[in-house]
Structure 1
Amino acid sequence: MKRITMIGDVGWSRFYHLGDEAMTELAIDALRDRTDIEITLIAGEPEYAGRMYGVDAIPRIGFKRDRKPNIARMKKVLAHVEGESAGNTLAPDDPAVRIIEAVRNSEAVLVAGGGNLNSMFAHHIYERATLAKIARALGKPYALTSQTLGPLIYEEDRGLVHDLLAEAQFIGTRESYTTDIAEELSSGEATVRRQVDDAFSLTASDDDRAAVSDLAAEPFILASFAEKASTPMISDTDYHARLAELTRRVADDTGLRVLLVPHGGALPPAGQTRDQLTDITIAEASGNDNVVPTRMLTARQLVALTEQAAAVIGTRYHAAIFAGAAAVPFISLAPNLYSSIRMRGAAENVGMENYVLPLDSVDDIVATAVGVIGDRGSLAAALHGQSTRRREEHQQWWNFLVAKTLGETASTAEAPGFFHAAEIPNPYVADIDVVRERLNAVQDYGLVMALKDRKLAQAKAEVTDAKAELKRLQSELDRARQSREQTESEPAVRAARRVEDTGRRAAALARKSYRRLASLRR
């Protein structure tokens, strides 16, 4: 039986990030469908993740958002890998030791899907880069699937990301932006392959459909919103107010319920959090009984619910992924740089790029939602053809991934092609080119503000370092002064001082006497 070590941003008992969980869950399914395999999953809370996915699970190496301690931590872990025979550098209970052993006993390492290779989340970069270096040191191949890179990769992170990409067997990218940046950051050394997000092929069972049957009892539009806008362009209060306005208007103008389904929350028995709380705020502010917050669903349950939706709308990325896969018309809203890049990529993969709209365009959003409901049949038919081809292509992608990383011998398998999805027009907005320019403006503004924030953070760090250095120098000065005072207080030194003083006084007296004698002679 083969074994693979896999990392995903998953496995928290008090927080369920539906999209990340969906990608890892699909990866587990895809591996098991293709080979007899044991999976060791690196997860947030190993016990919880192990029960959830029926795999062996171990904790992360453990990195922080600050780079200095991360650099030291990485060096220590890699020193342990490379010099174990000369003595251990890590404590036996260090979580990195378990990861090293898991990789040693695996045929390959897989970095499951995500959008966390971003300098805003430096701890994720260090976690994955260190795991990759462990694999290389132990002679194990590794690959990345279903990735978004950036959009922010700071200068101090570029070397790490370069090595991570360039030394991988291949990288699966889920939008053209990431394909381009991966080739740039790896200096053209990486094998980059385009694919759809791995959650695209996640399926629901009859049990999952039964679990959401109460929510699907009447026709509905499914809406999923991130808890906050994550941009200086709009405050979170205004963001919530705008979502309340558009959901109220969509419910009024279509006559359908709008179900608010959280993507970032907590499964029972944990208490509600993040999107769940935001959904309650939006529903209350809408003043419309047809705007309804729902309970937290599992990824498969949301796939089941999406299949039955009249349309999908939201600022959550995986809302578009599930909708596109189910051939359900969707509208993606992009409030910030990060969401715009990902939303446009997901929509482009199934021809729906004209249905990605800026959040400040409430009239266009409502008009598009009403038009989509009225024209649902033709839109769904166009999406169905694109989705079917993408699913077939995605199956080939996973055949390639398994053959390349887990094949009995070195595989010559080639990654499948990536067809260009036909663009589906959006006739419900007055000028789609203006919409695109507004999305470009969102991205440009987000990039400028992110770089400005970065410079401010660097300046603050320099001030902090300068203060620390000043404090260190002051401490050294104080210690030197104390040492001098202590030295001067010793008996021998006091006696020497008295001798010196006596000598000085004698010399002064002699000079004075000489001057008196000289004056008398005159």
Structure 2
Amino acid sequence: MRVALLCDVDQRVYHVGDEAIFTAEEQLLRARGHTVVRLSRQEKTGPGQSPERPEIPALVFPWPLEDRTRYLAEIRAVLDGRPEALDGGDKLFGFIEAMRDVDALVIGGGGGLNSRYGWLLSERLATALVARSLGLPVILSGQTLGPELMPSDRALLGELLELCTSVAVRDMASLRLARSLVPEHPRLGLIPDDALALVADIPQQRNVISVTLGADPDPLEREPYLQIAATALASLVSRTGASIELLAHMADPDDGGGDLALHEELAERLDGEVELLPLLRDVDAVQKVASARWVLTTRFHPAVLGAATESGVLALPLNHYGRIRTEGAFETLGLRDATVPCSALWDPVLQTPCRALIDELVDAVVADSEGEAQTLREGRQAALERQRSWWHHVDQVLRRDHDRKNCPGLPEMLTEQPAARPRFTGELTQLLAPYRAPDTEAVEPSAPPAPAVAIIMRTRNRPTMLDRALQDVISQSRQDWELVIVNDCGDRAIVEEVVDRYAELLAGRARVLHRTHSTGMEQASNVGIAASSAPLLVIHDDDDTWSPLFLQDTIAELEARPEVDAAAVQIQLVYEREISAGIVEEGGHIHWGQLDEVRLLEMMQLNRTVPIGVLYRRSLHEAVGPYDESFRVVGDYEFYLRAIALRPFAFVDRPLAQWRHRLVAHGDSANSMYAQDALHISADRRLRDRALREWTDQHGIGLPLFIAHTADRQSEQLQEMLADLTVRLERIEKHQLQQHQAQHSAPSLRRGAREVLAAGAHHGARVARRVLRRLRG
């Protein structure tokens, strides 16, 4: 049979892992007598590859959410018999014709079925829709599903799974997600990553550390990222005597960059024997990793291939997405809790690598390397048997899908969870505990550590935002939290549906309080705080978000500074709007970008921070009281004034929180500061009036009366000065324009007028700023 195989190949940036998946799946299909037709992006060919091969241009989608949503709708319309929905020259029509010449579609492995890479999810769904419209069987093999999914993309993913006759994913988290999305699907299974087929035979190992660092260090900054890697490598070299080999997995085949550029920077920081390898084609890169005795990586495939060939692997995923995938790969091979978040190896207060923890980690990997190799050897054999069983099933389905109802069922072994033992034990387990979610499925689950922080999440009838907010909390590098969701008089069913969606990942750490009468945000906060127990607190409204490092960095700040009760971070203001498909970002900037400290003086003028950016001690409420429930709005500002008057705030000068604004939203989706603008102004005045009265009750009205009169008089004088300067400026502009009219042609006149007006505007702005400074005192 002629099988169209869709993977992320022939991209502008060569990706060893994606190419290796295609190569392996192509071999597995050919070994069973099928002809493979490559679905190609046709942007570039990788190192040593020939562009002359049978292929069909892939149905590449635009990246922006609105554009990919529209294009998918247009494709649906065409497939429903309305070809006029797209321009006649659109690539879809040629794609449909090309697909008529194949007998089946296999959607290959990877990690693109999520909202992070939403255009890939849309592309795969559209490709499957075309295939099904032509009566072709569709198979999905070796994918990670999610974990980041907007509600609209969850629906698309569920639709894609329904279109597939058989589905195999590469981690248990993905299998559980698939079962929740399509609970009636008869053929959902678990397999290892398909690239394992390329290391069916383990090559002779070299005493080498194969190093692959992803080029993008997010959420870390570049300098900490490089320092962590250099420190870990120095520790590993000192214990093993191995040489270092820097092996890029993503870069432009012609222009470099990507991993190559980062590896060049890293090489300059390393001592001893270091080899900086060029970008290799997939099969050569796979053999390099497979033959290395040790592997250090932040990427997925080097960790998987290293573990599968019994190497000692130090896997340091950068984010929740990376960790879900890599942990799943280790579990398939017999080890669980096998990775460590890269950020856990960085001290955000001292701004240095955590050398003691790094040494503990390296010691554990080296000391148990033989015992671990035995576990991985057994796990590898079981994983390869799963792979053989799956591809035998695929072969049967491809030959019989015309009778879909009578297709063979999945072998039982593909539906079972592999046995896995914990990788680390003893003191190291305790050191890593804050970075691990409770294991609710362990045979002998241990009691989770007491939560370090309580997150109070206020919500009301905003399911899309609540969904995003829950994913935001789950994605934190620190996992020792409890979450109290306060449904402030919103629809109970909406909230419970969203929370139930993440029950597994929340792992018993969340509870929901439903309020039937809303009296304001501050009462909602107090109710949530009373229902929690952790010593640290933070208010996380459902429409705001964090950097994955927010909890880690702010908790560390308060642990290091017992003299302060609160830690505020730099705030990134993000503008966004909600559409039917999800939320679209439209830009942003640092809020109060010149702020280097949260000071009482400036806080008295105007609130300089917001709840999403402040973590504080519960004891602060014992000292200054709860949130004032008489304020329906600005209650956070009122509380901060009381708190900072008592003790200063620490300030973390990194943009770790996103305060999200929707300027044109209405109803429940609106920001309160816009929807309730008049109420905010009134509450702010009432707050200041109350504070003034408290002062005058003790000291009389004399000084405030004098200050008010003086400020009023100064304001009048400044307004008079501004009016006089405005008249003078207008005269100057008029005179200069008359001169230009007399001396220049019309084009020159227009150019001169612009210059004069620009100069005038600049001068006016200077005057205005001077006036404002005077008014502020």
TM-score (norm 2): 0.53
Q: Which residue of 1 aligns with 2:476?
A: 445
Between the aligned partners of 1:147 and 1:139, the Cα distance in structure 2 is 23
Q: How does 1:204-353 map to 2 (within 5 A)?
A: 219-231=207-219, 234-267=220-253, 270-286=254-270, 288-353=271-336
Which residue does the alignment assign to 2:494? Answer: none
Q: Is the 8 A contact 1:60 1:96 kept in 2?
A: no
Higher helix proportion, which one?
Answer: 1
Matched residue, 2:2: 3
Once the 2 structures are TM-superposed, how far is the Cα of residue 23 of structure 1 from its aligned partner? 0.9
1:56 corresponding residue in structure 2: 54
Taking only the aligned residue pairs, the percentage that are identical comes to 23
Question: Displacement of 1:165 after TM fit?
Answer: 1.3
Q: What amino acid sits opposite 1:402 in the alignment?
A: D
2:370 to 366, 377, 389: 377
Distance verdict in 2 for CA 1:129–1:451, change over 3 Å: farther
Q: 2:209 touches 2:295 (CA, 8 Å); kept in 1?
A: yes
Q: Compared with structure 1, are the counterparts of its residues 141 and 450 closer, same or farther at alpha carbon in structure 2 (3 Å cutoff)? A: farther
Cross-structure match for 1:387: 380
On the 8 A contact 2:112/2:144 being kept in 1, the answer is: yes
Cα offset for 1:106?
2.1
- Alpha-carbon distance in structure 2 between the residues aligned to 1:54 and 1:203: 26
Query: Could you tell me how far apart the structure 2 residues matched to 1:244 and 1:272 are?
Result: 22
Quickly say closer, same or farther: Cα 1:80–1:401, change in 2 above 3 A.
same
Which residue number in structure 1 is paired with residue 728 of structure 2? none
Secondary structure, in 3 states, of the residue corresponding to 2:92? helix
For 2:400 and 2:2, the matched residues in 1 are separated by 12
In 1, are the aligned partners of 2:116 and 2:148 still within 8 Å (CA)?
yes
Q: Residues of 1 paired with 2:101 and 2:541: CA distance? A: 45
Contact kept? 2:7, 2:22, Cα under 8 Å? yes
Distance in 2 of aligned mates of 1:244 and 1:451: 38
Residue 237 of structure 1 aligns to which amino acid in structure 2? E
Distance 2:426 2:577 in 1: 42
**What is the one-letter code of the residue matched to 2:408?**
A
One-letter code aligned to 2:284: Q
Matched, 1:175 2:171: yes
**In the alignment, which of 14, 17, 38 is matched to residue 15 of structure 2?**
17
How far 1:74 moved relative to its partner?
A: 2.2
Give the CA deviation at 1:20. Answer: 0.9
Whole-Å separation in 2 of the counterparts to 1:275 and 1:190: 41
Shift of 1:318: 0.5
1:146 deviation in Å? 0.6
Cα 1:177–1:427 change in 2 (3 A) is: closer
Structure-1-length-normalised TM-score: 0.77
1:197 Cα shift? 0.9
- 1:52 Cα deviation from its structure 2 partner: 4.4
> What letter is aligned with 2:267?
A
User: 1:425-459: CA deviations, max 9, x gaps?
Assistant: 54576242552541339954169999845986446
For 2:15, the aligned partner's letter is H
What letter corresponds to residue 274 of structure 1 in structure 2? G
- The whole-number CA distance in structure 2 between the counterparts of 1:253 and 1:450 is 47
Change in CA separation of 1:408 and 1:183 when aligned onto 2, cut-off 3 Å: closer
Contact 1:4 1:106 in 2 (8 A): yes
Query: Do 1:368 and 1:429's aligned partners in 2 also have CA atoms closer than 8 Å?
Result: no
Higher strand share: 2
Q: What is the aligned counterpart of 2:152 among 132, 141, 156?
A: 156
Letter in 1 for 2:236: V
Secondary structure at the aligned position of 2:56 is classed as strand
Aligned partners of 1:105, 1:146: CA distance in 2, in Å? 25
Q: Aligned letter for 2:282?
A: A
* Cα drift, residue 46 of structure 1: 6.7
Tell me if the contact between 1:248 and 1:291 (Cα under 8 Å) persists in the aligned partners: no
Equivalent position of 1:516 in the other structure: none
After superposition, give the CA deviation of every residue in 1:116-139 in whole Å (9 maximum; x if it has no partner): 111122211211111111122222
Say if 1:5 and 1:108, in contact at 8 Å, map to a contact too.
yes
Which whole-Å CA distance do the structure 1 matches of 2:341 and 2:426 have between them?
12
Bigger mean CA deviation after superposition, 71-80 or 110-119: 71-80
Matches within 5 A, 1:62-77: 62-77=60-75
Equivalent in the alignment of 1:415: 410
Higher relative contact order (CA 8 A, sep 6+): 1
After superposition, the Cα gap between the structure-2 partners of 1:425 and 1:290, relative to the gap in structure 1 and judged at 3 Å, is farther
The equivalent position to 1:403 in structure 2, one of 396, 399, 413, is: 396
- 1:179-226 CA deviation, whole Å, 9 max, x = no partner? 1112223354473211111111124899xx8xxx9xx8x621112111
Offset of residue 4 of structure 1 = 1.7
What per-residue deviation string (whole Å, max 9, x for no partner) do you get for residues 368-407 of structure 1? Answer: 4344345433332332122122112211111111211234
Q: 1:228 to 1:397 in 2, by over 3 A?
A: same
389 and 189 in structure 1: CA distance in 2 versus 1, 3 angstrom threshold: closer
Label 1:449 to 1:95 Cα distance change in 2 as closer, same or farther (>3 A).
farther
What corresponds to 2:341 in structure 1? 358
* Alpha-carbon distance between aligned partners in 1 of 2:154 and 2:249, rounded to the nearest angstrom: 31
CA distance in 1, matches of 2:383, 2:427: 30
Compared CA separation, residues 312 and 103, structure 1 to 2 (3 A):
same
Identify if the C-alpha distance between structure 1 residues 423 and 185 changes in structure 2 by more than 3 Å, giving closer, same or farther: closer
Letter in 2 for 1:75: A
Which structure: larger Rg?
1
Closer, same or farther in 2 for the Cα pair 1:324/1:252, shift >3 Å? closer
Question: CA shift at 1:26, angstroms?
Answer: 0.9
How far apart are residue 256 of structure 1 and its match? 1.3
One-letter code aligned to 2:167: I
Structure-2 separation of matches of 1:458 and 1:165: 29
What SS does the aligned partner of 1:5 have? strand
Distance of aligned partners of 1:449 and 1:328 in 2 relative to their CA distance in 1, 3 Å threshold = farther
Task: Classify the secondary structure of the residue corresponding to 1:227.
Answer: coil
Which letter maps to 1:147?
Q
The residue type equivalent to 1:149 in the other structure is L
1:350, distance to aligned residue in structure 2 (A): 1.1
Q: Which runs of 5+ in 1 are unaligned?
A: 467-522
* RMSD over equivalenced CA pairs, Å: 3.3
Task: For 1:450 and 1:239, locate their aligned partners in 2 and report how far apart those are by CA, in whole Å.
Answer: 30
TM-fit CA distance, 1:291: 4.1
Q: CA deviation at 1:99?
A: 1.9
Going from structure 1 to structure 2, the CA distance change for 1:250 and 1:451 (only over 3 Å counts) comes to farther
